[in-house]
Structures are given as C-alpha cells and as structure tokens.
Structure 1
Amino acid sequence: MAPEFSKPLAARPTPIPGVVLYDLPVHGDNRGWFKENWQREKMLALGLPDFGPVQNNISFNESAGTTRGIHAEPWDKYISVATGRIFGAWVDLREGPSFGAVFTAELDPSQAIFIPRGVGNAFQTLEDNTAYTYLVNDHWSADAQGQYTFLNLADETAAIDWPIPLDRAELSDKDKAHPRLADVVPMAPKKTLVLGADGQLGRALRAAYDGEANVEFATRADLDLTDPAALAGRNWKNYSTIINAAAYTAVDDAESPAGRAAAWAINVSAVANLARTAAEHRITLVHISSDYVFDGTAAEHPEDEPFSPLGVYGQTKAAGDAVAAVVPAHYIVRTSWVIGEGNNFVRTMASLAERGVKPAVVDDQIGRLTFTEDIAAGIRHLLESRAPYGTYNLTNDGEPASWADIARRVYELSGRPADAVTGVSTEQYFAGKAAAPRPLNSMLPLDKIKATGFTPANAADRLAAYLAGSAAAGKSSAARGMG
C-alpha cells in the first residue's frame, strides 16, 4: 500500500505531553517514492526539540501482526515507518500527572512521531515486510536496559484496541511477562545538580528543592569543578540541568596575585569545564552572573549591555558569562547585592545596631538588594516555565537605594535611630585601603524576567522579613541555650 503523497509538513500534538505526530511530505511517481524522513532545520521550525540523535535503528518485521513493546527507554526517540504500515501505541510511563495517558495511531511512511524519554512505545505491523525506524539520542548498551520501564501489552487500564487481537499476534515471551500498570514503577525524571551547595545561594536552593529526589547538591569537596577528570567521571546522561551556584566572590582579595589566580580558576576555567560538559550532553546550564560585569556608569544595565568590568572579580565574572553563553541551553541569571544565610551586609549592620555602633557607610553606590530565596525561586521559574534561553536580570524589586540607605533602614527596623549611620563616598570609605574598584550604579532592569511571568518581591519587604526572621531565630537559639 503506497503512502499518501504530497501532504504538507505539519505537527500534531497528542494527549501525551511531549509526544508529537508529524505528517511528512512524500514525493512519488511510477518508480516509487522519496521523503525527507528527518530534516533538522525544518523539524526545529515546527517545534521538534533539538534532541541530538546519535544512533539510527531499524526493526524489520516479516509478518503482519508482529507486536512489540510496551517499552519506555531512558532516551528520546523519533520514529517512522520506512516501508509498510503499523498501528502504534504509546503510554506515558513517566513520573507525574500524565502517567498512564495513552495515544494510538496508524502510521505509514508519510508520518513520524517524537517520543520523549519515559514514554512507552509499542507497535503492531499491519502489513508483511514492514520496517520501523528509530532515531535515538543515546547509544544503546546492555547497562541501559536496566533503566527501561515496561508495561504489559494487554494491560486493562491502558485498554489498547489492537487491530489484530493479541492472542492471534506474534509476541515475545518477554513482552507477555511485563507488569500491569498498577505494578509499574514510573520512570523518574532526569536529575538536577546544584553546585556550590554550601554557599548563600546554594543553601537557598536546598530549601527551594527540599525533599525532591531528583535534585542533587554538591559542594567543592564533592565535585571539584576545576578538575576536568572529576567532571569526566560522572555519568551525565542521567542529568537534565546543572545549576552553578559556585563562585569566587572575594572581590577585594581577587586583586592579589593568589586571589586573581583563584578567581580565574573558579569563575572562568571551572565554568568552561561545565560548559563543555553541558554542551556535550545537552544539559541545561544555569549560571549566576553579577552586576560587577559593568562599570556602573549607565543609569541601569540591561541584559544586552556590553561588558565593562572594573576589577579582577568583574573581569572573571564577565569571562564566565561569555563561556556559559556558548551552551545552547543556558540561563545566565545576573544579580546584585546578594543577601542570604550567612555573613552579609544586612547582618553586619544589624549587629552594629545592636551594639550601638555608629558606622560610616557608602552612599554613592546605588542598587537593589537581592535575597537568595528570590534568586532560587527565579531560577526554578525559568526552568519550569521553559522560558527562552538567555540572560536574565534578577534582583528584588522596588526603589533604588544606596548602601547607606539600606543601613539606615536596618537600624530603624532594629529599633535604633537612622541618623546613627553616616553616609560617605566610596573614595572616602576606601581611602588608604587595598580594595577593588566597584560599580557606582548596579541597577538592573527587570522587564525581561517579568515578561516570563515571574514577579520579584519588593526589596524593602524582604529586608523587613529577613530581619524579623533573624531576630526570631536569635531568640529561639538563646532559649535553647538557657534550657
């Protein structure tokens, strides 16, 4: 039976998320037919993921009624018929709300279907001498078979209406023995790896992903990013995302010979190792950037502003951004004035207020605080919403303020007079000290990330809540000590 000729190339969604059926143009005459079975540029334009096939397999089936499946493999598949005709059946065996969803269709050479990792695939031949082809994005191995998820072809819940009843079809003994849906362990999603898990942002990411089995956390002791051999020793096929919260952030120390070397090693060389790994294994890389990649002379710094770093730290962050941007699937999250769990400016000011100290604080550097819980929430939003890849500014929202303004507000919230804080210029504050140059304006516009549906919290509100939480934690700790 000849395929239908001259259909336009088209994509049709199905009830299973990520499973898409494609109509393929087939050109024929008295000699036979020809088709472009998979044409990357055209398929990407239709929305097919750039899934990176590495192996092409063909299943030849001599007789009509040959039935294979239901197998869910740990890779993506693009399936088509080379010759003949099949009845295809697909069941979602992935962990999640669509588990158990079913889609069936007859396919001839004028159609193809994309099957994401974890969706069970089965087919029954409707003609003799049918050839069924697969493009897959991982190499088959005996070890990989241990990661398959199977479903019985006769499962009553899926209730697949096989054109040729299974008792008259050709099945393997293995396929007959597969479990029913109630006994299937769903295929877990690929894992997310959070690096720098002991830092301020790393701790916030631990809280944001608390209890999620598919998220792993690593400190430098667990995985040395500056060592290519350490990265090469990990099985990256099991990961979909790397969140790089690891960084050298000692701005002033970076100006010393030892600090310069350390900053370049962690902020650039390690990022290059990660970028190579992410690109090779088609992993999404989330990388944290900084306002220090700019010189602070503009009124605000949009995502596409050219780099203009002033000091070594800013130079290494700019270089790291450039490297991370090479990864096809990347989010560069640019932030400023980070506050989280651990030593930071707000806690220092609160401690000074409690002790009655009257500090001099810089009043000509302007920006907005960014609390780590909001950075973590923004990262999660970008990943889960599948926002377009690229660079996103992410700070808290609200009116710009100087460090002195923030210090005064901390004093007020701590029950101390705001005028205990004296404002001084950056030049005055660092006179006679070994210090890195700093951008005077760190304002990062938030329009781009807001357009994805994420609304950053107000910085002033977060500051009040942060101080209230710190005070409550301090009282609780003191009470435990008294007990």
Structure 2
Amino acid sequence: MKVLITGCRGQLGLELARQFNEFNGVYNLIETDVHNLDITNQVMVFELVKAQKPDVIINCAAYTNVDGCESDELNAYRVNAIGPQNLSAAALSVGAKMVQVSTDYVFDGTGNTPKVETDPMNPRSVYGKSKAMGEILVKDTNPRHFIVRTAWLYGEGNNFVRTMLKLAKEKDEVKVVNDQFGSPTSTKDLARCIIKLINSESYGTYHGTCEGSCSWNQFAKKIFEIKGINIKVSEMTTEELNRPAERPKYSVLDNFMLKLVGINEFRSWEEALTDYLKGEV
C-alpha cells in the first residue's frame, strides 16, 4: 500500500512513519512536509498526487499555533481548510482514501459530558473554526474519508510533557491551568488507530484520544509523579493565563465510533503516559 504523509516532521507524522516501517515493506511511504509540499498550492498537490498515485493520503499538516491563528486568520484557513480540500480532491482524482487529522477545538468546550462524533461543532477560536471548515471540505470532496479528531497530543517533538520536564530542571515551582479538562493522548496510540482505519472501509468521523480525562494541572502532577520529580505544581485559571485565543474548558472526547466498529485500542492516558516517559530522561 502506498501512503502519502503530509506534515511528516511533526509528532504524529514521525510516529506514523515509525509504525509503518515496522511492517517491513508492506507500506511504501511518500513523506512530505512544508519544505517539499505546500498543501495550499492546488497545482503542486495535484501534480505530486497524480505522479505518485498513493492509495491513502494522511494529512498531519496544520497551522497549530492556536494564538498565532487569531492574528493570521487567512493563513490559518489556507492551511487548515484549503490545504485539506486540495489533498482530498487530489485523493479522489486517483481513487485514494483521505485521512484528515482534526481537533477537540471544533467544539466550544461547554458542559461536562464527553463529546461524541455526532455532537454539533461550535468552535470559538480561529484555529477551531479553520479546522472545522477543513473537516467540512474534506467530507464534501471525497466520500472515502476518515476524519480523526484528537487532543492534547504528545510524541517525538515539542509538547506539554517535555515542556514540564524542562521547567522542572529550571524551577522549584510551576503554575499550571486547572480549569481546562481533556484527554492526554500518545501519538503511539493515535498512529496505531489510523493504520487500522486505513485498512478498513469504515469511512466517517472518529474521535481518537486516550481513555480518561484530567486537567492540565493534574496532567503535570502525573508527569512529575511518574518521573519521581519533587516540584510544587500550583493552580491558575484560564483567565490568569490571558491568551489571545479562547480555549475550550471541557474538551473530553468519547471514542464512540471506534468502539462501534471494534477498533478502539486506546490505552488509559495514565498508562500511555507511563510508557512514553520510560524513554524520557
């Protein structure tokens, strides 16, 4: 199976490549990133896809700077909406499946019940709105699509876990938000899920996060607990953080559709985090 990955240098792109390569030649990878493919350039996308003729396109590329999106709205929509549309249309032109990685930010973060796939989107930030439009354009463009919403992702690269470990070497105390709740998710679990999906015909929208939930503050405490690091973790509110983009307060996702199709293999967030931290010094 020939698989085109965009955003190959990001956390998920790196983990997907690692797992695909474990199958010893079953998958032929075409790895692209912004340095060799501008997904907002329709001509470039179609030329590459028609030349390579992949069986699957997995779009891990995105404008993920949530606050940056607020002041760079046009580029946010180009990358997070038009880019996926270009890839999805190009996939359709060669009969390929399309995977669009999306986010919990397509919801407004209200309430205290985990969101299922059919709950209405109501994004509050430019980032969330652009990713929601990306979902819609992919759905409208290619019927053979998988939209996979995830959240609080960590893997190989810059992420919250590594930020906390770095701060622990520099400070005796860290202040972390305690009024935003979600599900920390390992790229290892998400990549495994995506590989199972592309080997199926179960097209549609899915939530893909590790099981259980916590606040960012509880997440930080668990990181330090697992690593045996003695540091004070104090609480702060979202309002105190005072960021340009609105953050969802409660963005816990229920992997309901994965459970229905029988491929929800996400571990608890604590188990996945413990596994990840084995490799972190």
Shared fold per TM-score greater than 0.5: yes
Give a deviation string over 1:11-45, Cα, whole Å, max 9, x none: xxxxxxxxxxxxxxxxxxxxxxxxxxxxxxxxxxx
Unaligned runs of 5+ in 1: 1-188, 472-483
**Does structure 1 retain, via aligned residues, the 8 Å contact 2:177–2:238?**
yes
More helix by share: 2
Inter-partner Cα distance in structure 1 for 2:256 and 2:114: 12
**Does structure 1 retain, via aligned residues, the 8 Å contact 2:80–2:134?**
yes
Letter aligned with residue 425 of structure 1: T
Is 1:240 the counterpart of 2:29? The answer is no
Match of 2:172 in 1: 357
Kindly tell me: are residues 209 and 436 of structure 1, through their superposed partners in 2, closer, same or farther at Cα, counting changes over 3 Å? same
Match of 1:195 in 2: 6
Match of 1:402 in 2: 215
Match of 1:456 in 2: 266
More strand by share: 1
* Larger CA deviation: 271-280 vs 241-250: 271-280
Letter aligned with residue 253 of structure 2: L
**Does structure 2 retain, via aligned residues, the 8 Å contact 1:236–1:281?**
no
Is 1:279 the counterpart of 2:98? The answer is no
The structure, 1 or 2, with the larger RCO (C-alpha pairs under 8 Å, 6+ apart) is 2
Q: Cα offset for 1:341?
A: 0.8
Match of 2:18 in 1: 207
Q: Cα offset for 1:387?
A: 4.5
Inter-partner Cα distance in structure 1 for 2:261 and 2:195: 12
**Does structure 1 retain, via aligned residues, the 8 Å contact 2:116–2:256?**
no
Q: Cα offset for 1:330?
A: 0.2
Is 1:422 the counterpart of 2:231? The answer is no
Q: CA RMSD in A?
A: 1.6
Match of 2:143 in 1: 328
Match of 1:311 in 2: 125
Match of 2:70 in 1: 255
Letter aligned with residue 458 of structure 1: S
Inter-partner Cα distance in structure 2 for 1:297 and 1:436: 16
Inter-partner Cα distance in structure 1 for 2:138 and 2:94: 14
Match of 1:76 in 2: none
**Does structure 2 retain, via aligned residues, the 8 Å contact 1:387–1:452?**
no
Alignment of 1:71-470 (within 5 A): 189=1, 191-210=2-21, 211-212=24-25, 214-234=28-48, 235=50, 238-256=53-71, 259-298=72-111, 299-326=113-140, 327-384=142-199, 386-398=200-212, 400-417=213-230, 420-430=232-242, 434-454=243-263, 455-470=265-280
Q: Cα offset for 1:417?
A: 3.5
Q: Cα offset for 1:225?
A: 1.0
Inter-partner Cα distance in structure 2 for 1:392 and 1:305: 12
Inter-partner Cα distance in structure 2 for 1:339 and 1:206: 16
**Does structure 2 retain, via aligned residues, the 8 Å contact 1:237–1:281?**
no
Inter-partner Cα distance in structure 2 for 1:237 and 1:194: 12
TM-score normalised to the size of structure 2?
0.93
Unaligned runs of 5+ in 2: none
Letter aligned with residue 132 of structure 2: A
Give a deviation string over 1:209-234, Cα, whole Å, max 9, x none: 11535222111222211111212323
Letter aligned with residue 197 of structure 1: C
**Does structure 1 retain, via aligned residues, the 8 Å contact 2:114–2:252?**
yes
**Does structure 2 retain, via aligned residues, the 8 Å contact 1:339–1:345?**
yes
Inter-partner Cα distance in structure 2 for 1:297 and 1:288: 22
Q: Cα offset for 1:453?
A: 2.6
**Does structure 2 retain, via aligned residues, the 8 Å contact 1:360–1:423?**
yes
Q: Cα offset for 1:410?
A: 1.4
Percent identity over the alignment is 37
Number of equivalent positions? 274
Tell me which structure has the larger Cα radius of gyration. Answer: 1
Inter-partner Cα distance in structure 2 for 1:238 and 1:274: 12
**Does structure 2 retain, via aligned residues, the 8 Å contact 1:362–1:426?**
yes
